[in-house]
């Protein structure tokens, strides 16, 4: 079912809404916001918002920490710290029930001093000389929650910004410490310094006290590539400069600096690679034939870097995928390699020993239908080099942080509290059959006493893009916002998470299956799950809602325009929707590798089949729809959401609501209060739309 394309760029009456900060445009936004808030913001809504904010502000959450030297660093937001605090503590303190935190930087206080509502974007530590403590870091702060950030040098001893220190102005920068007095900076240096995707095209060497304008160019890429990056690997004994020419989301060329020139690492451009001490690690995205062998897509290969550079291709094939199992990530401890796998979307962890010919054994830490990730604590620590963190979570299992040592046991360090009555619910995994016969998994979280009579309000969520896997995870927000809500006759909400193609649940091939001209397979998968829920009598179309954000917003936009008969309500967040112009809006050009290039007529022929903005029809009946976005989103941008809502309203489509947060970036929220309102608005809309109270 492919509705007819009904507009082009030359007759688009809503192009005027693409002026993001224009006063007329913002007046339109404020007027639409007022209509939506008038409809949704009731005492019931405010109760829901308060309950969600309690989850987000809870002081019992796990304070996830990163180890640098002797300290464990954490960034934290709660009711008393709206914009957050950066802090640290010792291991003994961290492992205790009530850690004694030393506050390094109070973002609320900094914002008040600067007159800018800063949003924390992370910190980059300068590796100290051997045996010395960490003393410097670059702190990244966004003025509005967008991707553009300012980098300032921070003194970890004086607990203040370094006077006259490094200070890189707000931009979509990519930065690496090159040494104590030098940075490698990719940023906006003026005309010609950015790619078409709005990321750095050049990287310069910035010495302490120098200016960006006078900094010497070190590496550059073509303007139509996605981004240039230079990283200095400061690992003792393996110091080196690495440059990456990111051509698009899935292809890149990686170089090593040798004798004043950049030497390419000759692997396929679509392979993911990393360097760790003496090792080169390669994960091919497509089958790779080299030196008489064929390595499978999604496998993991390891070889000595020096051997590789001299022509050796005798890779150790340390992981080979099968039909059910894929590699998600890997992490090195001092002496071992940890692999995080998914087997039918449940976690599995393997420990590999390079000293024993990469002998593999399972880490017994992964219950079925749960997500468990393992990664090193600090592979360079003399005492803790083989320690690892485990983060275990499930839909009905509050997250737990463990710490263990390879060869020993792992013990619980901290657990999240319970935010809803998990005992009332059960998790099941089901498989739907898509239009081409592919079996597609999905998780169902529902009341244990679920009546299979089609009378349950259900919410189907998904993403299906960029090889991103949707895995089990505990969410007090979903628990309170959806699962615990009940209808007048006592039925609880059903939550469903889809694992459609385009994601990474089954590795690169699962992703490849829904690229470009095959994009509609992801939407067919999602629709098949909706149909399966109805066929199993979990719900019915008028009681089934769907939600998605970003690429997931494009997903549910296609449910709206191509499968409107399957849903009673749709919540579409920070979405791509105008696929004719997406490459010209914000960072859209960088996603051509995912969707195709609409400026090429032969590619527009298939892109148009999944461009919701162009698939709207005046004679169609659409489900109730909420489209929401953020003004400061500089990744997707707010204009596609604006135009879609405006077009639907101009066509006379009933029950269309629009809301745009005036700050918050691509996440849609810059702090917990804004996040609580965003979640509450989506849940309130969906529940009331499905249960007939809107």
Query: What amino acid positions are annotated as catalytic residues?
Result: 550, 666
- C-alpha dist (Å) from residue 214 to 210, 265, 338: 7, 30, 43
- Report the first-to-last Cα separation within the chain, whole angstroms: 29
Q: Are 567 and 546 in contact (CB under 8 A)?
A: yes
CB 301 within 8 A of CB 291: no
Which residues lie below 8 Å from residue 683, measured CB to CB, with a gap of 6+? Answer: 48, 481, 482, 485
The two beta strands, 71-78 and 81-89, are antiparallel
Handedness of CA 273, 134, 176, 259 (dihedral sign): negative
User: The tokens of 411 are what?
Assistant: 């013990």
* DSSP 8-state class, residue 591: G
Nearest to 217 by CA among 225, 209, 226, 205: 205
Cα-based distances in Å from 445 to 408, 448, 476, 575? 35, 9, 13, 26
* Phi, psi dihedrals of residue 313, rounded to the nearest 5°: -125, 30
Rounded alpha-carbon distances, angstroms, from residue 349 to 387, 503, 587: 15, 20, 35
Please tell me the distance from the alpha carbon of residue 564 to that of residue 476, in angstroms, as a whole number: 30
Q: Which residue has the tokens 């099968």?
A: 322
CB burial string 418-427: b at 16+ within 10 A, e below: ebbebeebeb
The angle that helices 672-691 and 23-40 make with each other, rounded to 10 degrees, is 60
Task: Give the relative orientation of helices 639-650 and 23-40 as an angle to the nearest 10 degrees.
Answer: 70
Task: Provide the 3-class DSSP secondary structure of residue 422.
Answer: helix
Kindly state the tokens that stand for 565.
């008969």
Cα pseudo-dihedral 56, 680, 639, 227, rounded to 10 = 30
Pick the closest to residue 327 from 500, 508, 497 (CA basis).
508
How many Å apart are CA 59 and CA 474, to the nearest integer?
A: 17
Rounded-to-integer distance, Cα 227 and Cα 225, Å: 6
Query: For residues 340 and 347, what is the distance between their CA atoms, to the nearest angstrom?
Result: 7
Catalogue the long-range contacts made by 23-31 (C-beta closer than 8 Å, 24 or more residues apart).
25/642, 26/631, 28/642, 28/646, 29/631, 29/638, 29/642, 29/660, 29/662
Secondary structure (3-state) at 410: strand
Who contacts 586 (Cβ-Cβ below 8 Å, separation ≥6)? 198, 633, 634, 635, 636, 637
Q: DSSP H helical segments within 488-572, as ranges?
A: 508-512, 520-535, 551-562
Report yes or no: 507 and 494 within 8 Å, Cβ to Cβ: no
Q: How many residues does the chain have?
A: 694
3-state secondary structure of 289: strand
The strand pair at 182-186 and 202-207 is best described as antiparallel
Note whether 19 and 25 are within 8 A (CB): yes
Helix (H, G, I), strand (E, B) or coil at 136: strand
Contact in structure between 588 and 576 (CB atoms under 8 Å): yes
Exposure string over 137-169, b if 16+ CB within 10 A, otherwise e: bbbbbbbbbbbbbbbbbbebeeeebeeeebebe
């Amino acid at each position: 079912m492919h509705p007819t394309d009904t507009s082009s760029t030359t007759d688009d009456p809503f192009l005027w809404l693409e002026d993001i900060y224009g006063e007329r445009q913002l007046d339109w936004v404020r007027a639409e916001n007022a209509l939506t808030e008038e409809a949704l913001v009731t005492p019931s809504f405010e109760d829901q918002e308060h309950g969600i904010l309690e989850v987000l502000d809870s002081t019992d959450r796990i304070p996830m920490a990163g180890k640098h030297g002797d300290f464990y660093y954490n960034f934290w937001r709660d009711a008393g710290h709206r914009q957050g605090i950066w802090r640290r503590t010792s291991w003994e303190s961290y492992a205790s029930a009530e850690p004694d935190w030393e506050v390094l930087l109070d973002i609320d206080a900094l914002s008040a001093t600067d007159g800018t509502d800063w949003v924390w974007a992370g910190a980059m530590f300068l590796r100290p000389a051997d045996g010395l403590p960490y003393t410097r870091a670059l702190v990244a702060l966004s003025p509005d929650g967008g991707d553009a950030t300012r980098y300032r040098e921070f003194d970890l001893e004086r607990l203040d910004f370094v006077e006259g220190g490094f200070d890189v102005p707000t931009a979509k920068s990519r930065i690496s410490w090159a040494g104590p007095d030098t940075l490698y900076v990719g940023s906006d240096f003026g005309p010609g310094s950015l790619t078409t995707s709005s990321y750095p095209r050049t990287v310069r060497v910035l010495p302490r006290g120098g200016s960006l304008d006078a900094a010497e160019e070190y590496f550059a890429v073509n303007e139509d590539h996605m981004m240039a990056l230079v990283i200095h690997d400061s690992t003792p004994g393996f110091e080196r400069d690495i440059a990456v020419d990111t051509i698009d989301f899935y292809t890149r060329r990686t170089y090593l600096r040798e004798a004043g020139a950049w030497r390419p690492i000759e692997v396929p451009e679509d392979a993911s690679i990393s360097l760790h001490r003496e090792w080169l690690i390669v994960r091919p995205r497509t089958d790779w034939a080299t030196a008489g062998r064929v390595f499978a897509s999604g496998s993991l290969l390891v070889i000595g870097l020096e051997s590789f550079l001299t022509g050796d291709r005798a890779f150790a094939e340390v992981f080979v995928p099968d039909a059910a199992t894929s590699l998600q990530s890997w992490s090195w401890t001092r002496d071992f390699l940890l692999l995080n796998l998914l087997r039918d979307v449940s976690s599995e962890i393997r420990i590999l020993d390079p000293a024993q010919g990469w002998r593999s054994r399972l880490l017994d830490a992964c219950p079925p239908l749960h997500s468990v990730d393992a990664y090193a604590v600090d592979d360079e620590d003399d005492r803790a080099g083989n320690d690892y963190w485990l983060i275990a979570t499930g839909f009905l299992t509050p997250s737990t942080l463990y710490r263990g040592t390879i060869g020993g046991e792992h013990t619980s360090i901290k657990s999240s509290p319970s935010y809803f009555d998990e005992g009332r619910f059960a998790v099941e995994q089901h498989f739907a059959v898509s239009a081409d016969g592919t079996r597609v998994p999905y998780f169902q979280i529902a009341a244990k006493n679920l009546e299979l009579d089609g009378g349950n309000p259900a919410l189907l969520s998904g993403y299906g893009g960029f090889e991103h896997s949707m895995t089990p995870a505990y969410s007090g927000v979903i628990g309170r916002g959806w699962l615990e809500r009940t209808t007048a006759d006592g039925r609880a909400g059903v939550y469903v998470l889809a694992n459609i193609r385009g994601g990474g649940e089954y590795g690169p091939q699962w992703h490849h299956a829904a690229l470009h001209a095959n994009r509609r397979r992801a939407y067919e998968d999602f629709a098949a799950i909706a149909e399966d829920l109805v066929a199993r009598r979990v719900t019915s179309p008028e009681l089934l809602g769907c939600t998605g954000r970003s690429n997931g917003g494009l997903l549910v936009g296609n449910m709206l325009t191509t499968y409107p008969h399957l849903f009673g309500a749709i919540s579409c967040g920070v979405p791509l929707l105008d696929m004719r112009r997406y490459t010209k809006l914000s960072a859209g050009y960088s996603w051509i590798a995912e969707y195709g290039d609409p400026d090429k007529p032969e590619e527009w022929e298939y892109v148009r089949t999944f461009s919701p903005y162009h698939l709207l029809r005046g004679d169609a009946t659409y489900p109730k729809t909420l489209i929401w976005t953020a003004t400061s989103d500089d990744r997707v941008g707010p204009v596609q959401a604006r135009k879609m809502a405006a077009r639907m309203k101009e066509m006379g489509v009933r029950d269309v609501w629009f809301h745009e947060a005036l700050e918050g970036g691509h996440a849609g929220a810059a702090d917990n209060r804004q996040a609580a309102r965003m979640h509450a608005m989506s849940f309130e809309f969906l529940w009331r739309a499905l249960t007939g109270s809107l």
